[in-house]
Copies of this chain bind each other. A is one copy, B any other.
């Protein structure tokens, strides 16, 4: 786990990690949240309701978004993190069970008065297609 303090952090700092979303993770997330929507387990339903655009069920968008927690709490800033707010999580392409995601955050701004950093986040799949983008504001508590 990183332990960046507010003064350690410079605009342009980049951290990145990989994460595989498994079928089991989907089941766990379903039980955790109670989101039993068939888009996330029923391939036929996903195909039918998307007019054939999808041929498999898609991973929960919020399961992918949960990796923002890891990015903040382990990498930028890591130990001294407290997520303040998140602007604009956007979902760009589907994530499927088994996909390996690369989650990258870059510090794009700092607010000294409240020890807040702004982190631009991009998540891509193993074909380098963007699946999600976000902008996160984290308080750095040291």
Contacts and interface: CB of A to CB of B under 8 A. Distances in A.
Given A49-B141, A83-B62, A33 B70 contact: yes
Contact of A61 (B25, B29, B69, B89): B69
A35 B74 contact: yes
Interface in A28-83: 28-29, 32-40, 49-50, 60-63, 65-70, 72-74, 78-83
Contacts of A13: none
Interface residues on A, range: 35 or more
Copies of the chain in the assembly: 2
Contacts of A11: none
Say whether chain A's binding surface is mostly helix, strand, loop, or mixed.
Answer: mixed
A34 B88 contact: no
A87 interface: yes
Contacts of A142: 49
A86 interface: yes
A85 interface: yes
A25 B32 contact: yes
A113 interface: no
A80 B49 contact: yes
Contacts of A40: 73
Interface of A: 1, 19, 25, 28-29, 32-40, 49-50, 60-63, 65-70, 72-74, 78-91, 141-142
